[in-house]
């Protein structure tokens, strides 16, 4: 039997297939440009440590079409990983927002789906895509147990002083307005890997997830005590297209003086800001190239991006009352040496001293970039949300749901 992990977004689906008791995927894939005629499917098969990659370009009109294409590839005669859909016993779904009621991996029922849908307003770019993925998976794999694993769950250990906003109580008590935090599956995975590597169950860590979306977490002994995203994934760090933290008066000014609507402000802050707003690009590879060409906008953007991260490091070191390791992860965190260098520069007072030569090396797996004399470890740990979800599915199965 197999575990299929699905990460269904608004216009894409990521998936990995695992044998029931193995951490090594037998295949993985990415379905992009859902809703467009030029949809792209990248499907990788792993046999005896040898990868075979197929790339298919075709019209993918909706999530159901994309999932049907995935199911077809899993059983396609020349590259089949399974004989039929019944061999998939469990499907694990990443769900971004679980609110205050969905706080641990959960078998999906009609009631659970209703709760996920009730949170659409808090994760409009994510939860609707998750529900589409769940409903299509239920049709294509009717015998499988469907399990939701929530990005917000890891942050449920935040103390009230960290998750409450200083607004009247009724907004929390009646509307659930509070800090929820996101990227929790990633933060939990890399924090666990760091604790294992450090051989210190009580380690004080700051995990830094830098992709198109960016967030940080303060983790003490494996428990999250603070995180940079808030009610939605918009707060905190500067991101690819999101502004991160901003004075609320900016929004009031734009609304009252410039006539912006709520819809326009949502688009501005989520899709037109961040690195895109500062440089015209949201891909750090493009911005890095411009930085090294001495482009002033790219230089400012990198400095601003790194400065915001540094401020959170200071705050979280105070919250943790010490720091044993920084952990960089996700696409930018794992691959962008310039970001890591700028973040760690002039941080010797916290024992943060990065080895510049090691930082430039492009190696795989966990890496220690700490220079001699640095008392705070600087680690790069590749995240693996799909494996983390598969492990949660196994654990839930072992507990009998």
Residues 87-114 pLDDT 10s = 999 999 999 999 988 999 999 999 999 9
Lowest mean pLDDT of 29-38, 93-102, 350-359, 376-385, name the range.
29-38
**Residues contacting residue 56 through CB under 8 Å, at least 6 positions apart:** 40, 41, 43, 69
**What are the CA-CA distances from residue 354 to residues 218, 259, 368, 375 (Å)?**
20, 47, 9, 11
**pLDDT for the residue numbered 3:** 96
**pLDDT for the residue numbered 48:** 74
pLDDT at 123 over 90: no
Sign of the alpha-carbon dihedral angle for 379, 384, 388, 394: negative
pLDDT at 9 over 90: no
**pLDDT for the residue numbered 172:** 95
Domain ranges of the chain: 2-150, 200-385
Assigned token pair, 259: 């006539």
pLDDT at 253 over 90: yes
Instruction: Give 37's pLDDT tier (boundaries 50, 70, 90).
Output: confident
Lowest mean pLDDT of 37-51, 275-289, 346-360, name the range.
37-51
Mean of all residue pLDDT scores within the chain? 93
**What are the CA-CA distances from residue 279 to residues 25, 71, 194, 337 (Å)?**
38, 40, 34, 19
Q: Tell me the binding residues for substrate.
A: 94
Among the listed residues 182, 157, 204, 225, the one whose alpha carbon sits nearest the alpha carbon of residue 321: 204
Q: Tell me the binding residues for ATP.
A: 14, 209-213, 283-285, 331-335
Assigned token pair, 201: 């169950």
Sign of the alpha-carbon dihedral angle for 211, 212, 218, 222: negative
Question: In this structure, which topology does domain 200-385 adopt according to CATH?
Answer: Nucleotidyltransferase; domain 5 (3.30.420)
If residue 10 lies in a helix (H) or strand (E), which one and from where to where? none
Q: Specify whether the CB–CB gap between 189 and 385 falls below 8 A.
A: yes
Lowest mean pLDDT of 75-79, 300-304, 369-373, name the range.
75-79
Q: Specify whether the CB–CB gap between 287 and 298 falls below 8 A.
A: yes
Q: Tell me the binding residues.
A: 7, 14, 94, 209-213, 283-285, 331-335, 385
Q: How far apart are the first and last CA of the chain?
A: 17
Percent of residues, the chain, with pLDDT higher than 90: 76
User: What percentage of the chain's residues is helix, strand, coil (to nearest 5)?
Assistant: 40, 25, 35
pLDDT at 11 over 80: no
Q: Specify whether the CB–CB gap between 69 and 61 falls below 8 A.
A: no
The residues carrying an active-site annotation are: 151
**Residues contacting residue 3 through CB under 8 Å, at least 6 positions apart:** 17, 18, 19, 20, 88, 89, 90, 91, 92, 390, 393, 394
**pLDDT for the residue numbered 128:** 86
pLDDT at 49 over 80: no
Same fold, 2-150 and 200-385: yes
d(CA 41, CA 150): 25
In tens, the pLDDT along 163-218 reads 999 999 999 999 899 999 999 999 999 999 999 999 999 999 999 999 989 999 99
Instruction: Give 400's pLDDT tier (boundaries 50, 70, 90).
Output: low
CATH number of 2-150: 3.30.420.40
**pLDDT for the residue numbered 398:** 65
Instruction: Give 146's pLDDT tier (boundaries 50, 70, 90).
Output: very high
Assigned token pair, 28: 């993985």
């Amino acid at each position: 039997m197999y575990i299929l992990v699905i990460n269904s977004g608004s216009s894409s689906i990521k998936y990995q297939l695992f044998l029931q008791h193995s951490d090594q995927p037998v295949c993985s894939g990415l379905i992009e440009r859902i809703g467009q005629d030029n949809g792209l499917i990248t499907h990788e098969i792993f046999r005896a440590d040898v990868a075979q990659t197929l790339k298919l370009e075709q019209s993918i009109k909706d999530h159901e079409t994309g999932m049907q294409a995935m199911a077809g590839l899993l059983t396609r005669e020349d590259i089949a990983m399974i004989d039929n859909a019944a061999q998939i016993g469990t499907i694990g779904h990443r769900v971004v927002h679980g609110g205050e009621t969905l706080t641990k991996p959960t078998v999906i029922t009609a009631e659970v789906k209703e709760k996920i849908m009730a949170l659409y307003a808090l994760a409009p770019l994510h939860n609707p895509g998750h529900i589409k993925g769940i409903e299509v998976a239920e049709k294509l794999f009717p015998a499988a147990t469907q399990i939701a694993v929530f990005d917000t769950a890891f942050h449920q250990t935040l103390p009230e002083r960290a998750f409450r906003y200083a607004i009247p109580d009724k907004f929390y008590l009646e509307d659930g307005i509070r800090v929820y935090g996101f990227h929790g599956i990633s933060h939990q995975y890399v924090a666990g890997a760091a604790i294992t590597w450090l051989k210190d169950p009580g380690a004080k860590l700051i995990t830094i997830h830098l992709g198109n979306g960016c967030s940080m977490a303060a983790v003490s002994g494996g428990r999250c005590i603070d995180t940079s995203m808030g009610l939605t994934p918009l707060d905190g760090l500067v991101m690819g297209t999101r502004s991160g933290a901003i004075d609320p008066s900016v929004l009031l000014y734009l609304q009252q003086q410039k006539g912006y609507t709520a819809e326009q402000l949502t688009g501005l802050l989520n899709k037109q800001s961040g690195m895109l707003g500062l440089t015209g690009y949201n891909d750090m590879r493009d911005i890095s190239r411009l930085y090294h060409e001495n482009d002033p906008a790219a230089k400012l953007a990198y400095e601003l991006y790194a400065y915001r991260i540094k401020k959170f490091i200071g705050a979280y070191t105070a919250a943790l009352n010490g720091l044993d390791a920084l952990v960089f992860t996700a696409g930018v965190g794992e691959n962008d040496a310039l970001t890591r260098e700028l973040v760690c520069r002039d941080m010797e007072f916290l024992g943060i001293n990065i080895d510049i030569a090691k930082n430039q090396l492009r190696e795989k797996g966990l890496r220690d970039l700490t220079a001699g004399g640095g008392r705070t470890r600087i680690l790069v740990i590749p995240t693996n949300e799909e494996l983390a979800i598969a492990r949660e599915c196994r654990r839930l199965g072992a507990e009998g749901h």
